[in-house]
Structure 1
């Protein structure tokens, strides 16, 4: 499988946003309102749609769900613990760490869905959808917590006000209650979701300042190593521990090696953190997916 070709659309949109912002009249004054639109409307609609349309069969996939959530929790713990690592912690900026910890465990669900269908057909697509449905709520809460805590904001209030958390909780509740989006609304919702991906990635490119990555080399290397090396290794260990079958193992390994979510940038920027730095991490993670996906699905599998 050509992983570079799979990741090319996302990287191309980031590059397009960067070039448009730098070399046309569509500068930052244009892209800042776009970020607000994506954050408060487009991404929440996309999250709600993704979760509602991902059926969660707990009984048939209990081992996969347990393996995915446990490996995800370990990734979150590793990301949170970075300031306490003796060889890394002293080089970290606390605010940059709070904003970028999410890069280590969040994932690009749409690349995952495309990849699963190519690898294992309809069954693989369903298994990735299950992982997305159960992990998105946990990972979104884990992404908000360090930023709310470091800014000394009320965590519960931040969760209740955060549009991504609201959309996630609403989608999961609707899923568990068996509610679905009406057929007549699906085309509109689908187009909003597609627009959120394009605009979110272009907004990340418009904010991109790769030079900022050089000031946080230890932090950048650490969160990307967790995302693209530690997470696949943890997923491999969990697959063995829970005795997953071949298709479930493939789905879990693909899920663990995905590039980070493009929403990392929008969330950091809208919560008042260093958005350009996180945009650089999103770009590097997209490129590193070309290495981590073959590692997980070729070497480990």
Structure 2
């Protein structure tokens, strides 16, 4: 099937979230609480469900993890050039540079679910598990120069890490999860992606676009165009195939995480610029992701 058609339902959910937020039908307080509910409750349930009973081959996953580290590290290093190139203050640079290497896990799971079903979600969950601490360390390290918050504090309270660690622990230990409990988790997990994508759309903001168009173009060019090309090289380097190749390429094509804005605000960075990065990256990915999948998948 055409990649654009596969991804169309997910992008329609994002656009519906944007339309609902702008309609005023629901209060701003609702969207803040909905985002928190998805992030801290529903998404960890999805990760746990994907990993707890999956047939995982950790040895076969290592080349995929190495590939993810390589192209993510490349995005981080290339993004750093924006500070001298555009003469950005540290608070703006640290907030915006997240757009060059961070990834939206809601979109990751939605895309892999459409392409490869439950096995695809389990594999990209492993990749997320390896990469989430890495990208958070990068972001918190740069933002911590304008904040007193520490890296360990931010990592310890990350619900994505909770969900991945608990799912892997249940899988490796082979401890049975009672069926009623697993069924309840399954119901929560089923709501995670649609609500997550809707909150992504609701969080789109355009206030800083005009004043920062040059670095925004630079960071989005790295994240959405250059990183997929680097990922193709790493996939060939490590001989990845099947669902591991799919997950690696999809990860490299994702828009910036909405949590980049949350982290920037919490750590006294430039929240408006972070919101602009998330917004432009998400909208641009609606075109670049199907295009890149069609060309490279």
TM over 0.5: yes
Shift of residue 291, structure 1, vs aligned partner? 4.1
Q: Separation in 2 of the partners of 1:144 and 1:181?
A: 35
Structure 2 vs 1, CA of residues 290 and 199 (structure 1 numbering), >3 Å: closer, same or farther?
closer
Find the partner of 1:289 among 285, 289, 293: 285
Q: Identify the residue that residue 21 of structure 1 maps to in structure 2.
A: 21
Shift of residue 124, structure 1, vs aligned partner? 6.1
**What number of residue pairs does the alignment pair up?**
294
Q: Identify the residue that residue 116 of structure 1 maps to in structure 2.
A: 115
Q: Separation in 2 of the partners of 1:233 and 1:24?
A: 41
Find the partner of 2:85 among 78, 84, 87: 87
**RMSD of equivalent CA atoms:** 3.5
Unaligned runs of 5+ in 1: none
**1:217-256 equivalent positions in 2, closer than 5 A:** 217-245=213-241, 248-256=244-252
Shift of residue 193, structure 1, vs aligned partner? 3.0
Structure 2 vs 1, CA of residues 129 and 153 (structure 1 numbering), >3 Å: closer, same or farther?
closer
Shift of residue 259, structure 1, vs aligned partner? 3.3
**1:169-184 equivalent positions in 2, closer than 5 A:** 169-179=165-175, 181-184=177-180
Which shifted more, 282-291 or 154-163?
282-291
Q: Separation in 2 of the partners of 1:191 and 1:274?
A: 37
Structure 2 vs 1, CA of residues 97 and 185 (structure 1 numbering), >3 Å: closer, same or farther?
farther
Q: Identify the residue that residue 44 of structure 1 maps to in structure 2.
A: 44
Q: Separation in 2 of the partners of 1:255 and 1:280?
A: 21
Tell me if structure 2 keeps the 8 A contact 1:128–1:251: yes
Residue by residue over 1:21-41, the C-alpha shift from the partner in whole angstroms, topping out at 9 and shown as x without a partner, is 333352323323333333433
Q: Identify the residue that residue 146 of structure 1 maps to in structure 2.
A: 142
Residue by residue over 1:31-82, the C-alpha shift from the partner in whole angstroms, topping out at 9 and shown as x without a partner, is 2333333343333333444444555413234333322332223223334x24
Residue by residue over 1:259-288, the C-alpha shift from the partner in whole angstroms, topping out at 9 and shown as x without a partner, is 344544555556665656545544433343
Q: Separation in 2 of the partners of 1:212 and 1:138?
A: 27
Shift of residue 199, structure 1, vs aligned partner? 3.6
Q: Separation in 2 of the partners of 1:256 and 1:164?
A: 19
Shift of residue 98, structure 1, vs aligned partner? 2.9
3-state SS of paired residue (1:209): coil
Q: Separation in 2 of the partners of 1:100 and 1:176?
A: 38
Tell me if structure 1 keeps the 8 A contact 2:264–2:270: yes
Q: Identify the residue that residue 100 of structure 2 maps to in structure 1.
A: 104
Unaligned runs of 5+ in 2: none
Shift of residue 235, structure 1, vs aligned partner? 0.8
Structure 2 vs 1, CA of residues 142 and 179 (structure 1 numbering), >3 Å: closer, same or farther?
farther
